[in-house]
Amino acid sequence: MSAVGKISLRGGLLPRRGARERSRLLVFNHAVLILLTAFAVMPLLVLAFNSVKTNAEIGLNPLGPPTQVIAENYASAWERGDFATTMGNSVVYVVATIAAELVLGGLAAYALARRKPPGSDMLMLYFLVASTVPVWMYIVPLFVQFRAWGLLNTMHGLVIVYVAMNAPLTIFLLRSYMIDLPGELEDAARVDGANEFQVFTRIVLPLSKPGFLTVGLVVGLGVWNEFFLALTFIHDPSMFPITTSFYKFTDRFSRDWALTSAGAIIVIFPIVALFLALQRQFIEGLAEGGVKT
């Protein structure tokens, strides 16, 4: 949508936004964004530098570019960190958690945002209060329960823990995306004989797609980077998540920073790829809506 078209439609009724003002603003916007982006990226550049240095060089020169590139760090990190196993496991944890979370959380958020059954307020209060409890307070009782139910050392057991721990944030975020949706479409669908589930899947779900994407991203990242719960509930290395791979490079009082940095890059890579893929969806949503200037 070109700005010129709009302006010409409005004719003389509105004060014109001059092209010069517009381009000044554009320059300002880009300048600010470039500055902030540099702030976000610079430390990562350091990480990338360190991932191809020797440990001795990291000790002496922890910031600058490497004097010689040790690309083998990546191969060693991949092998010693057993990333082939742990990355696959983490993908399973992330996908299963996101799937369960979005389905169950989406249903719950829909009910809370659009149907508001009696008791909704109490329920929200419950989720809020529950999200304030630090995990160390209940990790031992939770372990005892899980052991009794045979959920220890199983991938679905850990997924259940993740789904539960992410539930409050999921419900609240999704609800906040759904709450402002116009109700007419739903009513129309109901008049057409759709049941509640169909209203949810056909009307509300497509309309709150950005919300679902965002929540999926947030929950997925949380699971991808989680460590403490995974080690508490999983005791079989064939089911360990990717975060445990970092610790392959750590001894009691020392850490192989070269390999840890290379490992860190290996860990971020899939996430960045996924984020870029999701970004395309965001952009599509943007194009469909034709929002803003």
Least separation in angstroms between residue 115's CB and other proteins is: 4
Helices within the chain (DSSP H only): 3-10, 19-50, 55-60, 72-80, 83-110, 120-130, 139-148, 155-178, 184-191, 196-198, 205-207, 209-224, 228-233, 243-246, 257-289
Question: Parallel, antiparallel, or unpaired: how do β-strands 254-255 and 250-251 relate?
Answer: antiparallel
Query: Are 221 and 274 contacting, i.e. CB atoms less than 8 angstroms apart?
Result: no
Rounded Cα distance between 59 and 197, Å, is 59
Least separation in angstroms between residue 160's CB and other proteins is: 6
User: Smaller CB distance to other proteins: residue 71 or 122?
Assistant: 122
User: Smaller CB distance to other proteins: residue 71 or 213?
Assistant: 213
Query: Are 185 and 118 contacting, i.e. CB atoms less than 8 angstroms apart?
Result: no
92 three-state secondary structure:
helix
Least separation in angstroms between residue 21's CB and other proteins is: 10
User: Smaller CB distance to other proteins: residue 71 or 118?
Assistant: 118
User: Smaller CB distance to other proteins: residue 71 or 133?
Assistant: 133
Least separation in angstroms between residue 275's CB and other proteins is: 6
Rounded Cα distance between 205 and 81, Å, is 39
Least separation in angstroms between residue 189's CB and other proteins is: 13
User: Smaller CB distance to other proteins: residue 71 or 134?
Assistant: 134
